[in-house]
């Protein structure tokens, strides 16, 4: 199972109506892909969003690098096939929190979303 990157804006926009979990250091969104490519594509896709509210370019890039690495670690363990995950950086928190705490927030956010979806 490979982890691929979400690159197209339309894939990020599909996440707007998706379930989300707002954690201390990151907001996690996830949705199941339903397009025609999904039948052959068994990968997990991950996208990262970081607005200018987070900080200047140096801080935003640091936040994105941290989210990218933490996301890879967590999604290798608990990522669901044919699912897109979007991680949104939070102001002052994504960069300053310990890396293990960031990984835990992502994992707990994904588990919270999965629990919400099972309840429906």
| 44-66 pLDDT per residue, tens | 999 999 999 999 999 999 999 99
Domains of the chain in sequence order: 3-119 (3.30.230.10)
User: Among 14-18, 48-52, 69-73, whose mean pLDDT is lowest?
Assistant: 14-18
Mean pLDDT of 2-29: 91
Highest mean pLDDT among 15-24, 30-39, 73-82, 97-106: 97-106
CA distance 47 to 45: 7
pLDDT score of 36: 60
**pTM (two decimals):** 0.90
Q: Which residues pair with 83 in a beta bridge?
A: 32
pLDDT score of 65: 96
CA distance 50 to 116: 25
List helix spans (H) across the chain.
Answer: 9-14, 57-78, 99-119
Q: Which residues pair with 44 in a beta bridge?
A: 3
pLDDT band at 2 (very low <50, low <70, confident <90, very high): confident
């Amino acid at each position: 199972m490979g982890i691929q990157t979400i690159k197209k804006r339309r894939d990020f926009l599909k996440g707007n109506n998706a379930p989300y979990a707002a954690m201390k250091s990151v907001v996690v969104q996830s949705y199941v892909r339903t397009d025609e490519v999904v039948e052959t594509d068994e990968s997990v896709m991950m996208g990262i969003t970081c607005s200018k509210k987070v900080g200047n370019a140096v801080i935003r890039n640091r936040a994105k690098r941290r989210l990218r690495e933490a996301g890879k670690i967590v999604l290798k363990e608990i990522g669901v096939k044919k699912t897109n995950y979007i991680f949104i950086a939070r102001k002052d928190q994504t960069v300053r929190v310990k890396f293990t705490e960031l990984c835990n927030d992502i994992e707990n956010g994904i588990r919270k979303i999965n629990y919400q979806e099972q309840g429906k």
